[in-house]
């Protein structure tokens, strides 16, 4: 007979394995009726990988706390987590000393250890960052130095013959090898976090979209009242939000500023046909372009044996719009009226237009990819999945590049912690970020 633990894992993984729009973990907890309210010590809003990791960390530190995770969808890990490329990042890109750099390096180590302990499939396939033009060589060497400052293990520069030994079909003038880069299925990691959380006594409630957050003076013990659009209610002493694509909207419910705003950018991938996946052994990345705010197209090996090519980066016309045809008038208007988006667009006009062109032209994308793997052709690829990145943007058009925590105004804000920005490598760093969030909760709320 299957153990309760095993059957729960199987159920979570089965649901997470279905397409995002079809996943369902409804009924995980008794659903509050309209007008009634359940009470908790801490409510975490958002059941992506970061919300689940944070809720898990709180309960592991403070057994006995009544912790609830609320999720607006029918299942877990539906959006950024469920559309993630699956890379375990090494930490070479980030400014030395920044929270992002520290959390990525620590988080990658914690994640590898966790996967080994929990028996989660993963692979340290490594990564090559390849310079294909002489103008990229100084930037690649600077990236190497940055990685060393960030204490990323095993970094070394490869000459062309070494590149071919590592990736026989790849060509380049010089490459930076990052052996600590890996791959994993983050939906399975999220399922494991959810299982740990439930086993520690936590509760999960799906189909609860928080529409309001206010103080209830008649409930001094659990004064924060969260209401859903359907009239369900939950009371909490304290609230932590990890709302991803809606982090700015949710944070404003407790009186936070509208800045930084979330502007959604869609990234579309191509897939190598199964008979051509031998062209790529691990991950192949370009040297970051300082004139382009995103990383650029790359080759990503996947745990299922497939290889993803991309992504591009284009403005999404819906925050959860995974197709070029997905459109929300409200989401689009919010993005277009933000002064920072116009400034960003003017600053990166040429690269932005190039991204839009490549979104519709396979040939243009293939030409970019052929700089690294000359053998690849249009006939080798098919269109693949897409993801939407919650890009935090300030009013001056600057991409907010590090983690941002906020509370809000007045007595309500003193009981709320918002994760306003958790950019890539948030999935890689989820266990390390969860430690920071747990620290923040203990310090701010005196738990």
Q: What is the per-residue pLDDT across 242-294, written as a single tens digit (0 to 9) for each?
A: 999 999 999 999 989 889 999 999 999 999 999 999 999 999 999 998 767 67
What is the C-alpha to C-alpha distance for residues 354 and 21, in angstroms, rounded to an integer?
Answer: 30
Torsion angle (degrees, nearest 10) of CA 218, 222, 223, 225: -100
Average pLDDT on 409-420 reads 92
pLDDT of res. 218: 85
356 pLDDT above the threshold of 80: yes
Grouping H, G, I as helix, E, B as strand and the rest as coil, residue 436 is helix
Question: Is pLDDT larger for residue 3 or for residue 321?
Answer: 321
Is residue 170 within 8 Å of residue 163, measured between CB atoms?
A: yes
331 pLDDT above the threshold of 50: yes
27 pLDDT above the threshold of 90: no
What is the C-alpha to C-alpha distance for residues 416 and 420, in angstroms, rounded to an integer?
Answer: 12
178-206 burial string, b = 16+ CB within 10 Å, else e?
bbbbbbbbbbbbbbbbbbbbbebebbbbb
Evaluated on CA atoms 185, 186, 187, 193, the torsion sign reads positive
Question: Is pLDDT larger for residue 97 or for residue 47?
Answer: 47
Tokens representing residue 366 in the block = 């293939």
149 pLDDT above the threshold of 70: yes
pLDDT tens digits along 176-217: 999 999 999 999 999 999 999 999 999 999 999 999 999 998
Tokens representing residue 120 in the block = 């989660």
Count, residues in the chain: 447
pLDDT of res. 3: 41
pLDDT of res. 217: 82
What is the C-alpha to C-alpha distance for residues 185 and 303, in angstroms, rounded to an integer?
Answer: 7
15 pLDDT above the threshold of 70: no
pLDDT of res. 402: 81
What is the C-alpha to C-alpha distance for residues 297 and 308, in angstroms, rounded to an integer?
Answer: 10
pLDDT of res. 293: 66
pLDDT of res. 37: 60
CB atoms within 10 A of CB 296: 17
User: Beta strand 182-184 with 87-88: parallel, antiparallel or unpaired?
Assistant: antiparallel
Is residue 417 within 8 Å of residue 240, measured between CB atoms?
A: yes
The model's pTM is 0.90
| 431 Rama sector, left if φ>0, alpha if ψ -120 to 50, beta otherwise | alpha
What is the C-alpha to C-alpha distance for residues 364 and 378, in angstroms, rounded to an integer?
Answer: 10
114 pLDDT above the threshold of 60: yes
Tokens representing residue 80 in the block = 């950024």
What is the C-alpha to C-alpha distance for residues 293 and 399, in angstroms, rounded to an integer?
Answer: 8
pLDDT of res. 233: 94
DSSP-H helix ranges across 320-405: 329-336, 339-347, 349-360, 362-370
Note if the bond before 73 is cis, omega within 30 degrees: no
- Strand partners of residue 315: 265
* Residue in this structure with the two tokens 């692979």, named with its chain if needed: 123
Grouping H, G, I as helix, E, B as strand and the rest as coil, residue 293 is coil
Q: What confidence tier does 333 reach under pLDDT thresholds 50, 70, 90?
A: very high
- Candidates 263, 266, 399; CA nearest to 338 is 263
Q: What confidence tier does 442 reach under pLDDT thresholds 50, 70, 90?
A: very high
- Candidates 155, 78, 194, 121; CA nearest to 430 is 194
pLDDT of res. 1: 38
DSSP letter string, 87-142: EE--S-SSPTTSHHHHHHHHHHHHHHHHHHHHT--EE---EEEEE-SGGGHHHHHH
Tokens representing residue 46 in the block = 């958002």
Distances, alpha carbon 382 to alpha carbons 30, 273, 329, 377, in Å: 43, 7, 30, 11
DSSP assignment letter at 30:
P
pLDDT tens digits along 59-105: 999 999 999 999 999 999 999 999 999 999 999 999 998 889 999 99
As a whole-number percent, the residues of the chain with pLDDT over 70 amount to 91
As a whole-number percent, the residues of the chain with pLDDT over 90 amount to 78
301 pLDDT above the threshold of 90: yes
Average pLDDT on 386-401 reads 92
Is residue 130 within 8 Å of residue 68, measured between CB atoms?
A: no
16 pLDDT above the threshold of 90: no
23 pLDDT above the threshold of 60: no
Torsion angle (degrees, nearest 10) of CA 420, 423, 427, 432: -70
What is the C-alpha to C-alpha distance for residues 251 and 266, in angstroms, rounded to an integer?
Answer: 23
Q: What confidence tier does 121 reach under pLDDT thresholds 50, 70, 90?
A: very high
34 pLDDT above the threshold of 60: no
Mean pLDDT rounded to a whole number for the chain: 90
Q: Which helix (H) or strand (E) is 82 found in, with range?
A: none
- Candidates 167, 200, 190, 202; CA nearest to 42 is 202
What is the C-alpha to C-alpha distance for residues 73 and 206, in angstroms, rounded to an integer?
Answer: 6
Q: How much is the CA Rg of the chain, to the nearest whole Å?
A: 22
Lowest mean pLDDT among 156-160, 293-297, 363-367: 293-297
């Amino acid at each position: 007979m299957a153990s309760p633990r095993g059957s729960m894992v199987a159920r979570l993984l089965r649901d997470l394995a279905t397409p995002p729009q079809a996943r369902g973990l409804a009924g995980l907890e008794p659903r509050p009726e309209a007008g009634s309210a359940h009470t908790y010590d801490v409510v975490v809003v958002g059941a992506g990988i970061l919300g689940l990791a944070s809720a898990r960390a709180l309960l592991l530190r403070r057994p006995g706390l009544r912790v609830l995770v609320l999720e607006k969808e029918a299942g877990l890990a539906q959006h950024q987590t469920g559309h993630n490329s699956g890379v375990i990042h090494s930490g070479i890109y980030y400014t030395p000393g920044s929270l992002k750099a520290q959390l990525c390096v620590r988080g990658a180590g914690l994640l590898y250890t966790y996967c080994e302990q929990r028996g989660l499939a993963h692979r340290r396939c490594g990564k090559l960052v390849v310079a294909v033009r002489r103008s990229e060589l100084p930037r690649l060497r600077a990236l190497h130095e940055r990685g060393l400052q960030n204490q990323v293990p095993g970094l070394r520069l490869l000459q062309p013959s070494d590149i071919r030994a590592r990736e026989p079909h790849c060509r380049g003038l010089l490459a930076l090898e990052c052996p600590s880069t890996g791959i994993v299925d983050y939906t399975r990691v999220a399922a494991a976090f959810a299982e740990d959380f439930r086993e520690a006594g936590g509760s999960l409630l799906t189909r609860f979209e928080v529409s309001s957050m206010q103080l209830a003076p008649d409930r001094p013990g659990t004064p924060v009242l969260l209401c859903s659009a359907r009239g369900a209610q939950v009371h909490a002493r304290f609230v932590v939000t990890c709302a991803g694509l809606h982090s700015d909207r949710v944070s404003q419910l407790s009186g936070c500023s509208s800045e930084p705003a979330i502007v959604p950018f869609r990234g579309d991938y191509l897939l190598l046909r199964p008979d051509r996946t031998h062209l790529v052994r691990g991950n192949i990345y370009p040297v970051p372009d300082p004139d382009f705010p995103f990383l650029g197209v790359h080759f990503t090996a996947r745990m299922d044996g497939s290889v993803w090519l991309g992504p591009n980066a284009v403005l999404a016309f819906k925050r959860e719009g995974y197709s070029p045809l997905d459109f929300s008038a409200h989401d689009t208007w919010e993005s277009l009226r933000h002064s920072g988006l116009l400034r960003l667009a003017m600053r990166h006009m040429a690269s932005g237009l190039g991204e839009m062109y490549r979104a519709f032209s396979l040939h243009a994308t293939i030409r970019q990819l052929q700089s690294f793997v000359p053998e690849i052709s249009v006939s080798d690829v098919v269109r693949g999945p897409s993801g939407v990145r919650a890009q935090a943007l300030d009013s001056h058009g600057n991409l907010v590049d590090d983690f941002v925590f906020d509370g809000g105004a007045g007595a309500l804000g003193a009981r709320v912690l918002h994760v306003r920005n958790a950019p890539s490598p948030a999935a890689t760093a989820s266990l390390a970020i969860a430690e920071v969030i747990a620290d923040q909760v203990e310090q701010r709320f005196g738990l």
